[in-house]
Structure 1
Amino acid sequence: MNLPCTSESIYNLIPSDLKEPPPPPRYTSVFTSSVKDDLKKFKTAMKTMGPAKVEVPSPKDFLKKHSKEKPLPPKTKFNRDVPKKPAVPLRTDHPIMGIQSGKNFINTNAADVIMGVARKPKPIYVDKRTGDKHDLETSGLLPKYINKKDYGITPEYICKRNEDVKKAQEEYNKYVQENLKKAAMKRLSDEEREAVLQGLKKNWEEVHKEFQSLSVFIDSIPKKIRKQKLEEEMRQLEHDISVIAKHKVIYIANK
């Protein structure tokens, strides 16, 4: 009878090399081929800018030596006969001595200093405690614009624009006045106003008389509607009578 091998078997005394299991196969997308094809197609389509076929330059138009250097000015022949500087004085030559001027330079300089205008100091500003000085005129702190001749004067284009706006406003006002004259409202005279007022009062009396003739018991919908209509008419007539009685001057717009 064959017994199974346990951990205490003699065959397990010598350790054997552990064999690592093989790695699983690498994942490969099913869209790899399609992506490659799309990449090649679009990349080839945008590979160059401009026409695909370019004219090949001629071999004769190659870059020659010193072709990009600036040409030198033409050479001129040096003339040795014309001296550039005056000749050196000889050893025997002596300067002219004994010439004196009658001008008193000391008194002249003193008079120039006394009568001259004192020089104004250059405006400066100091921005550090160590005493660093800077020019004030170029710093932007000096108000130069207020000293200009045209400072505070309205520019010419703004004056012209204001005149155009004023002219347009005058034309608009004239147009409005003409329209108002065309559509001028008619004023009611005192007699017409009194006649309208009496007519409104007479209408109110008739509506009021009809309202008083209603039955005491309002027990149906038509009666309620009739009563509401008469009340609305009386309210409107009272409003019109009060308006006309309150205002002495009444205008009527022309249709």
Structure 2
Amino acid sequence: MSGVVYPPESVYNLIPKEEVHTQVPQRYMSKYRPTVVLEKKSTKDAKRTMGPAKVEPPSPERYLKKRSKEPNLPEKTAESKDVRHACTVRKPAVPARTDCPPMGIHTKRDFIKLATAVPMKHRPTCVDARNGHKQLLENSGLVPQYTKKKQYGEVPEYLQQRNEEERRAQEEYLNFVKEQREQGAMKHLSDEERRAALEGLKKSWDKLHHEYQSLSFVTDNLSKKAHKDQLEEELRQLEADINRFERFRTIYIPNN
């Protein structure tokens, strides 16, 4: 069965229909078209090179000759030759080597002053573009301006005040330690005692560290966790004490 679809049959389809003719609007035509055509034709004809020449061709007798465009100089005469030797005043002789140079002579351009004058100080500049634009280097931000300050290199006042407070606090601490030592409340540890105390602290740390490494990996109850925290705190305290004994050579302890 073909797929052609026929329109439904109707009596009205037998009536002939009138043909409808669509009217196309007339194409736009500018009113200046004839003027433009004439203007284009006139300019086109003026640039043509074919046809009869409109200027008179050059004559074969008037060709360009050699050196015809060079300027004509006046002819040399006897009078012009004598003008060169018309000067009757004789120039002074060349000064000898032993003669002293003349003093106090000023000319339009005194070279002696130029040689002895202080040269103008060059102001450094920087070129920041390929077309030669330049600006003064001191205002370009490339030169550190703080080095030109009067206070450059000096310690600031707040640092001097802080150093003075630290020095005063250190003096007060030393005076307090001296007073306590004189009263017999503190005892100075010798090098042997300090070394022995340091060795004892290290042995205690090794013992606690071995015990800490022997703990079980899983802390499944509160007692194991509390024991682990206690060992960590004791190890931390021992490490701080060992660091203090190794850092300071002079150590004081109370007599009681």
TM-score (normalised: structure 1): 0.29
TM-score (normalised: structure 2): 0.29
